[in-house]
Amino acid sequence: MPRTFFEKIWDDHVVADLGDGAFLIHIDRHFLNEVSGAVSLKEIDNRGRTVRNPELTFGTVDHVLETVPGRGMTTRMPGGNDFLREFAQRIGPHGIRFFGLDDPRQGIVHVIAPELGAILPGMTFICGDSHTCTVGAVGAFAWGVGSSDSEHALVTQTAILTKPRTLRVNFTGTLAPGVHAKDMILALIAKYTADGGTGYAIEFAGEAVRSLPMDGRLTLCNMAVEFGGRTGMVAPDEITFAYLKDREFSPRGADWDAAVAYWRTLASDPDAIYDREYTLDCSTLEPQVTWGTSPEHSIAIGGTMPDPQAAADPIARDSRQRAANYVEIAPGDNVKGLPISGAFIGSCTNSRIDDLRAAAAILRGRKVADGVTAICVPGSTATKRQAEAEGLDRIFREAGFEWREAGCSLCMSGATGGESFPRDARVIASTNRNFEDRQGPHVRSHLASPVTVAASAIAGRIADARDLAAPEGN
């Protein structure tokens, strides 16, 4: 019987059928961060349990850690120092690899995991963070879990999971210049709503995905959770193999050859049937920006704010009205042109080297508008060093951006009393969540691609990068 890509990975990881759709699934790789990881390790220590396969487990610090230059293992986040201290103290004795503050491999889990070749095609991968689905871009089955599921995996190297149904999203056509992976995923969520992928393992396919480099695929899969999906994934191909070759934890020699041969068998069989299929035409896709407080509140950048009262369903209508009140935009208003006081390039969605290169191409020879606080936080220490080797940091700095150390930073810390934008600010961000208060108290966040964020930082208002004239001397 023909099988989908997801079903092949699933079948290769079933330890036991637990009945009524539930299975015990082997976990090939597991990452811990200092928030959920600290809780899991503390519980394990308190109960006198042991970590079954520490060699398959990795840890780093990303959530609570400050990203300001000269940082130490401390944070302004209330309660955060306890997480940093307990995590760093507890992880070592279990024999788990730990990429701490001063390790050149430190960074956001979903940036470093593929960068290190720690997660490979056909693997199962979990982490106590919802954006773990990002790493499905390398052809893995990757999903986020809570502290208790993480603890379960530390002790048993397995997870209990209900088998998700399969959904294929066909991104047809090719992207126009100036349109990026972020625009693809925002448009998809807007079209099918934030729970359009609920209950599914989502495979991203089609011409526009096949031609995306790995960094773009990681952006796409990153927001599968914003679409309700258990995971997002892209079947491995030559782009995947070239990306993974010779990474620190990638297999070598005969193991590499055997692995590639296995990875080539993973793509869906030609006649495989998905439980559901969606299609989005990329040839007419415009850069996207969100107006509201859910990623589904996304529109083409030249579009106007939709009327919340136009929603047919009363609960959707009230939810959209509440969002409109929060962001203080009226129906029919242009989103493009709204003044901003903050711009953020970073997060597990868009902080990789391709993102920084694309933003730097916009910023080169230009200046951030007066009154805009612009911040760039590379996703990993390795990405930061690569960018510095290419001189990108100078472009960001000369434009007026802060150039920070690697971590999650303002993507989420505003919600936790850590690094945040000032109360009531309107900001544009390359992140994944425009939730209420996510980037600071009553901060209104507009999500967009790194080039849209860069262009907006220069304009001092939400701007379309395609409208920028070539800078002088370029």
Partner 1 sequence: MNMKPFVIETGVAAALMRNNIDTDQITPGHTGMKVQKTGFGEGLFFNWRYLSGGGENPDFILNRPPFRETRFLLAGTNFGCGSSREFAVWALRDFGIRAVIAPSFGAIFASNCYMNGVAPIALPEDAVSLLAAEITPEAYTMTVDLSRQVILSPSSQEYSFHIPDLQRERLLEGLDAIDATRRREPQIAAFQAADALRRPWVYKVEGRMA
Residues 228-267 binding partner 1 (CB under 8 A) are: 228-230, 248-249, 251-252, 255-256, 258-259, 262
Q: Which residue has the tokens 């959209």?
A: 320
CA distance 68 to 468: 30
Q: Is 19 in the site for partner 1 (CB under 8 A)?
A: yes
Residue of the chain from 61, 135, 376, 415 that contacts partner 1 (CB under 8 A):
415
Residue of the chain from 173, 303, 306, 417 that contacts partner 1 (CB under 8 A):
417
Closer to partner 1 at the Cβ: 6 or 401?
6
Distance of CA 421 to the CA centre of its chain: 20
Find, among 226, 232, 143, 231, the residue nearest to 192 by Cα. Answer: 226
CA distance 137 to 219: 8
Closer to partner 1 at the Cβ: 251 or 422?
251
DSSP letter (8 states) at residue 187: H
> If you compute the radius of gyration of the chain from its CA atoms, what whole number of angstroms results?
21
Positions in 294-353 near partner 1 (CB under 8 A) = 294, 296, 313, 315-316, 318-319, 322
String marking each residue 28-47 x if it binds partner 1 according to CB under 8 A: x------xx-xx--xx----
Positions in 115-174 near partner 1 (CB under 8 A) = 116, 118, 120, 122-123, 128-130, 143-149, 151-152, 155-158, 160-162, 164
Positions in 103-122 near partner 1 (CB under 8 A) = 103, 116, 118, 120, 122
Residue of the chain from 195, 277, 281, 388 that contacts partner 1 (CB under 8 A):
195
Closer to partner 1 at the Cβ: 210 or 249?
249
CA distance 44 to 38: 10
Q: How far is the CB of 150 from partner 1 (least distance, A)?
A: 9
CB 372 within 8 A of CB 460: yes
Positions in 344-403 near partner 1 (CB under 8 A) = none
CA distance 156 to 30: 12
CA distance 158 to 326: 42
Q: How far is the CB of 472 from partner 1 (least distance, A)?
A: 43
Residue 318 amino acid letter: D
Q: How far is the CB of 409 from partner 1 (least distance, A)?
A: 14
Distance of CA 89 to the CA centre of its chain: 28
Q: Is 435 in the site for partner 1 (CB under 8 A)?
A: yes
SS3 of 65, please? coil
Closer to partner 1 at the Cβ: 166 or 456?
166
CA distance 429 to 415: 15
